[in-house]
Chain A
Amino acid sequence: MSQSPAERKSVSDVARERAATRDLIPGLVVLVVTQGTLIALDPDTTSSAWHLAWALSPLIGIGLLVWGQVRILRRSDERERLAQLAAMAFGFGVFAVSLAVVGVLQGADLGNPIQQTQITFAVGIVAWVVALEVDRRRTS
């Protein structure tokens, strides 16, 4: 399916999208593999330093994703960078408010702290992605 000339992406759009995919794939693969093995094998992280390192292994994937995101930001043109940073700021704001909600819930001994922390992180990321998508639709 080909795009109409009015909707065609610019050459730099295509180049940036390809480079972004290249930058994010290693982090995603490492994160899926490390998190997957952790969930599947469920190591006892208190028994040894080795197990603790294994439990922290998803941080390698997260670090690679952050590195990829920094490269994406550096490659973006000025308006895209502004939109990315505004979306990140919005995501961080949502994350901070979610964290305050979790604090209140934990203060009242309600819910599972681990699940609430993971949900807080996910909510921040979703808010970031939604803000980017809203910007994309407004400027398309």
Chain B
Amino acid sequence: MINRLRELRAVRRWSQADLADRLDVSRQTVNSIETGRHEPSLSLAFKIADVFGEPLESLFVRDLPTSKF
């Protein structure tokens, strides 16, 4: 899953901690989502969409696996 969190956060000049404050999660959680280490639950994903005022489908894009053959 690819997401635009870092990009949208940079536009608003928010630090990871600023976004974490708005989402009521830890800064490490924001970092993990941005770097793709953690895929958020649906409820957290909706919360992220609310915070940025963007539709969910514009925040998270499916990362299609490349063929091994």
Chain A residues proximal to chain B, CB less than 8 Å: 5-6, 8-13, 16, 77-80, 82, 136, 138-140
Assuming the contacts A5-B17, A77-B29, asked whether A12 and B37 have C-beta atoms less than 8 A apart, the reply is no
Assuming the contacts A78-B44, A139-B37, asked whether A9 and B32 have C-beta atoms less than 8 A apart, the reply is no
Complex Cα spacing A136 to B28, Å: 7
B27 interfacial by beta-carbon distance below 8 Å: yes
| Contact between B37 and A10, CB atoms less than 8 A apart | no
Give 17 new A-B contacts, CB below 8 A, not counting A10-B30, A79-B26, A79-B28: A9-B17, A9-B27, A10-B17, A10-B20, A10-B21, A11-B20, A11-B21, A13-B26, A77-B25, A77-B26, A77-B44, A78-B44, A79-B25, A79-B29, A79-B32, A139-B29, A140-B31
| Contact between B16 and A6, CB atoms less than 8 A apart | yes
Chain B residues with Cβ below 8 Å from A11 are 20-21
Output the least CB separation between A3 and chain B (Å).
Answer: 9
Assuming the contacts A6-B16, A10-B21, A139-B31, asked whether A16 and B26 have C-beta atoms less than 8 A apart, the reply is yes
Chain A residues with Cβ below 8 Å from B37 are 138-139
Residue of B nearest to A76 (CB): B26
B24 interfacial by beta-carbon distance below 8 Å: yes
Q: Could you tell me the dominant secondary structure of chain B's interface residues? A: helix
Complex Cα spacing A12 to B27, Å: 9
From A8, A79, A80, A140, name the one whose CB has the most chain B CB atoms within 10 angstroms: A79
Assuming the contacts A77-B25, A79-B29, A80-B26, asked whether A12 and B16 have C-beta atoms less than 8 A apart, the reply is no
Residue of A nearest to B41 (CB): A78
Output the least CB separation between B18 and chain A (Å).
Answer: 8
Output the least CB separation between A21 and chain B (Å).
Answer: 16
Could you give 24 example pairs across A and B, Cβ below 8 Å? A6-B15, A6-B16, A6-B17, A8-B15, A9-B17, A9-B26, A10-B20, A10-B26, A11-B21, A12-B24, A12-B26, A13-B20, A13-B27, A16-B26, A77-B26, A77-B44, A78-B25, A79-B29, A80-B28, A80-B29, A138-B37, A139-B32, A139-B37, A140-B31
